[in-house]
């Protein structure tokens, strides 16, 4: 008999048995992790049907020197345009912080999702950083070559940047690039822009994350949380999958120049736990959006990741995953997300 792909329920059962075996001092023979929070091994999952929820941190790498992006440096503060060009792309602080994020995830037995601008590969030290990080198994997808809007940039230029970035991810990082984060996010996603949707699909991209909707009262954390049930994956008629931003970005939460305010990290952690609570209660996908440079500025020890992972471990049917995992599960049940 051919081997069947494990469902989430089978995976959780096997994981529970493995955990019990580990406590008895024996080894698991299931082939899966003893942690039920891992997405690895789960081939089919729909939270509405299977219960629980799926949580993913998607990290946007906004590289400087594109004219409209910036980077935080511990000693220099925020760098803009010409200053960015003078100090490079990824400074050592941010490289070290990205490695810390990876370590936090690896300690919890999970992987992170990164969206890379192609111009992050222009300097040898940055290329070496990403090659080493990719070998650790974290997911890498596109954020355009520069931080240019998908809806304001000519379609021909979108196509050029997607192709150039895809080539770098696939040849240098040895990961197939089928995902894309829309720089900046757009309230109406790519609705009404079938030309852009087709260009994205023709470039070999199968899913995007572009929709960023905010409540009328941006200072009300609960209002952001209550919008999450509306920010669930869906397919456009062209066949392109959209995975919306869920709730606040860290920049809209913290950074004054992005509409936020200088708030303590404890409030960010409390907010993230509220997001997880509503996702769990309503059986949702939770695709969070964060930026290493912003998180580094406000939480240099990445305490929020450690505490959120511990919070997720309190419930055995929360899966911590990548956006790629979400795509894999959704693409096997397209009718549910039409």
Q: What percent of the chain has pLDDT over 90?
A: 64
Instruction: Say yes or no: 233 and 275 in one domain.
Output: yes
**In this structure, are 106 and 205 located in the same domain?**
yes
Please indicate, yes or no, whether residues 325 and 262 belong to a single structural domain of this protein.
Answer: yes
Which stretch of 39-43, 136-140, 206-210, 225-229 has the lowest confidence by average pLDDT? 39-43
Q: What percent of the chain has pLDDT over 70?
A: 79
Strand ranges (E), 219-303:
234-235, 241-242, 285-290
Reduced to 3 states, what is the DSSP secondary structure of residue 93?
helix
| pLDDT given at position 1 | 45
Which is higher by pLDDT, 157 or 69? Answer: 157
Determine, yes or no, domain membership for 42: no
Question: Is 41 within a domain?
Answer: no
In this predicted structure, the answer to whether residue 59 has a pLDDT above a threshold of 90 is yes
How many whole angstroms separate alpha carbon 119 and alpha carbon 192?
Answer: 29
Lowest mean pLDDT of 6-10, 184-188, 285-289, 298-302, name the range.
6-10
Q: Which residues contact 283 (CB under 8 A, 6 or more apart)?
A: 47, 48, 50, 51, 52, 53
Question: Quick check: 2 pLDDT over 80?
Answer: no
Rounded to the nearest integer, the mean pLDDT of the chain is: 84
Q: Which residue has the higher pLDDT, 11 or 68?
A: 11
Sequence-ordered list of residues with C-beta below 8 angstroms from that of 314, at least 6 positions apart, any chain: none
With cut-offs at 50, 70 and 90, classify the pLDDT of residue 218. confident
Kindly provide the residue ranges of all beta strands, DSSP E only, lying in the chain, ordered along the sequence: 53-61, 70-73, 77-80, 113-116, 139-142, 179-186, 207-211, 234-235, 241-242, 285-290, 318-320
Asked if pLDDT for residue 73 goes beyond 60, the answer is: no
- Token pair, residue 332, equals 């096997």
Q: What is the pLDDT of residue 19?
A: 40
- 228 and 105 in a single domain? The answer is yes
Range with the poorest average pLDDT among 86-90, 323-327, 333-337: 86-90
Residue 43 lies in a domain: no
- Reported as a pLDDT band with limits 50, 70 and 90, residue 16 is very low
* Strand 179-186 versus strand 207-211 pairing type: parallel
DSSP state string for 12-59: HHHHHHHHHHHHTT----SSS-S-TTB-TT--B--HHHH-SEEEEEEE
Residue 175 and residue 93 share a domain = yes
- Report the CATH number at residue 292: 3.20.20.370
Question: Which phi and psi (to 5°) does residue 60 adopt?
Answer: -90, 125
What is the CA 199 to chain-centroid distance, rounded?
A: 22
Report the distance separating Cα 54 and Cα 31, nearest Å.
21
State how many domains the chain has.
Answer: 2
Residue 331 lies in a domain: yes
Residues 3 and 103 in one domain: no
Same domain, 180 and 231: yes
Instruction: Answer yes or no: do 79 and 15 share one domain.
Output: no
Say whether both 87 and 164 belong to one domain. Answer: yes
pLDDT at 80 (0 to 100): 53
Q: Is the four-CA dihedral 253, 255, 258, 259 of positive or negative sign?
A: positive
Most confident of 89-103, 203-217, 243-257: 203-217
Determine the average pLDDT of the residues in 18-36. 33
Per residue in 236-250, pLDDT tens? 999 999 999 999 999
Q: Is the model more confident about 216 or about 28?
A: 216
Confidence (pLDDT) at 71 = 53
Residue 280 is predicted with a pLDDT of 98
In this prediction, residues 227-233 reach a mean pLDDT of 97
What is the Cα–Cα distance from 200 to 243, expressed in whole angstroms? Answer: 14
Structural domain including 4 reads 1-34
Query: Same structural domain for residues 93 and 177?
Result: yes
Question: Does the pLDDT of residue 337 top 60, yes or no?
Answer: yes
Q: Where are the beta strands (DSSP E) in 130-231?
A: 139-142, 179-186, 207-211
Claim to verify: residue 28 and residue 88 sit in the same structural domain: no
The predicted-structure confidence for 283-318, as pLDDT tens digits, reads as follows 999 999 999 988 888 899 999 999 999 999 999 899
pLDDT band at 88 (very low <50, low <70, confident <90, very high): very low
202 is a domain residue: yes
Q: How many residues does the chain have?
A: 338
Whether 307 is covered by a domain: the verdict is yes
């Amino acid at each position: 008999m051919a081997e069947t792909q494990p469902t989430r329920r089978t995976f959780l059962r096997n994981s529970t048995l493995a955990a019990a075996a580990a406590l008895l001092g024996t080894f698991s023979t299931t082939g899966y992790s003893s942690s039920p929070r891992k997405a690895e091994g789960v081939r089919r999952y729909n939270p509405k049907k299977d219960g629980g929820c799926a949580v993913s941190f998607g990290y946007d790498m906004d590289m400087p020197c594109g004219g409209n992006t910036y980077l935080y440096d511990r000693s220099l503060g925020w760098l803009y345009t010409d200053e960015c060009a003078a100090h490079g792309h990824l400074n050592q602080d941010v490289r070290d912080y990205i490695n810390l994020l990876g370590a936090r995830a690896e300690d919890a037995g999970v992987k992170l999702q990164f969206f890379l601008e192609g111009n992050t590969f222009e300097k040898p030290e940055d290329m070496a950083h990403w090659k080493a990080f990719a070998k650790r198994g974290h997911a890498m997808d596109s954020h355009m070559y520069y931080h240019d809007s998908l809806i304001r940039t000519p379609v021909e230029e979108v196509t050029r940047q997607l192709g150039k970035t895809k080539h770098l991810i696939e040849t240098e990082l040895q990961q197939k690039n089928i995902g894309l984060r829309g720089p900046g996010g757009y309230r109406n996603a790519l609705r009404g822009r079938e030309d852009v949707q087709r260009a994205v699909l023709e470039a070999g991209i199968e899913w995007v994350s572009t929709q960023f909707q905010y409540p009328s009262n941006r200072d009300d954390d609960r209002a952001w949380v209550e919008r999450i049930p509306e920010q669930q994956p869906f397919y456009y008629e062209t066949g392109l999958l959209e995975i919306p931003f869920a709730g606040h970005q860290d920049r809209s939460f913290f950074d004054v120049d992005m509409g936020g305010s200088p708030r303590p990290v404890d409030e960010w952690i409390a907010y993230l736990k509220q997001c997880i609570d509503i996702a769990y209660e309503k059986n949702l996908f939770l695709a969070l959006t964060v930026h290493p440079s912003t998180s580094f500025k406000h939480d240099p020890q990445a305490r929020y990741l450690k505490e959120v992972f511990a919070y997720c471990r309190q419930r055995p049917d929360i899966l911590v995953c990548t956006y790629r995992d979400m795509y894999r599960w959704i693409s096997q049940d397209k009718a549910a997300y039409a």
